[in-house]
Amino acid sequence: MLSKKFYDKKVVFIGSGNMAEAIVSGFVKYDMVKSSNIFCNDILQERLNYMAKKYTVSISHDKEKALEKADIVFLAIKPQQIEAIIKEYGKQIGKAKLVVTIVAGISTELVEKYLSKKSVVIRVMPNTPALVGKGAIAVCGGKNATKENIDDIVNLFLAIGRVVVVKENLINTITAVSGSGPAYIFYFSEVMREVAENLGLPADVAKDLVYQTIYGSGKMLVESGLEDKVLRKNVTSPGGTTEKAMEEFINSDFKQIICTAIEKAKKRAEEL
């Protein structure tokens, strides 16, 4: 059962983009935080109006006003914006009991640098499937974070997906694997769909079959109890059609392409 520990607490989002929306949607859907106690802040008034209408949350264009008496602050802005914002509003942010950063590539140490010495900072790397409650989410704590602090954040994020607790030195790798991972899957889907249409399938049929194949395969990975390698071998009958396709993947060094892509994503996370 999900905890209602923070139901009556003031939860503030600095930045109200897609990931912030995913988190807000989970909090509201599972009644984990009272919607009127969720305060969304963003530079775009149109975005704030959308959040208020869809989730009945409170909104404020003024960061100082939004941060007044905040219990938890979520930093959900772009990496290029983070330092300027925590420099300017560090005093107000640091008054919160918990500060959660979901900013890619930004360490807890950097955030702590601009807050009070006692501030508790938690770093979280979610991914976009959190928007449909199926996120893959990694959590780590800063220097002042206790096990209870981390457990509290884990429980909040269980509303939008599966959560793992890791050491911070693994977060950039996780960013490259699961943070960016949905884009890899979507690109594979895009290519499969295009090929299917080029080979004569009607667009709607290609879309239905490819999307369902990816969805069903993911469900098998999660629920079958079998490893990916075993599931792949189960589909690959000797001398069959799948074997021919797999031979092409292997001969074209598809594995190396994936390795290189993920390594470059990790490097970019480190650069940020």
Report if residue 146 sits inside a domain.
yes
What's the average model confidence in pLDDT over 193-214? 97
Report if residue 157 sits inside a domain.
yes
What's the average model confidence in pLDDT over 178-184? 95
Q: Are 73 and 98 in contact (CB under 8 A)?
A: yes
Last residue of a domain, one of 171, 193, 209: 171
Say which CATH number the domain at 156 has.
3.40.50.720
At 272 the pLDDT is: 74
* Distance from C-alpha of 26 to C-alpha of 227, rounded to nearest angstrom: 29
At 2 the pLDDT is: 66
Q: What pTM value is reported for the model?
A: 0.89
What's the average model confidence in pLDDT over 211-215? 97
At 116 the pLDDT is: 87
Say which CATH number the domain at 240 has.
1.10.3730.10
What's the average model confidence in pLDDT over 36-45? 94
Query: Mean of the per-residue pLDDT values for the chain?
Result: 93
- The answer on 246 and 213 residing in a single domain is yes
Report if residue 4 sits inside a domain.
no
pLDDT of residue 131 exceeding 90: no
At 107 the pLDDT is: 92
Per-residue pLDDT band at 249 (split at 50, 70, 90): very high
- Residue 24's domain comprises 11-171
Structural domains in the chain (count): 2
**Amino acid identity, position 73:** V
What's the average model confidence in pLDDT over 255-263? 95
- The answer on 82 and 19 residing in a single domain is yes
pLDDT of residue 1 exceeding 70: no
Q: Are 40 and 51 in contact (CB under 8 A)?
A: yes
What's the average model confidence in pLDDT over 122-136? 92
What's the average model confidence in pLDDT over 3-25? 90
DSSP string for residues in 17-35: SHHHHHHHHHHHHTTSS-G
- The answer on 160 and 63 residing in a single domain is yes
Collapse the DSSP code of 220 into the 3-class scheme (helix H, G, I; strand E, B; otherwise coil) and give the result.
helix
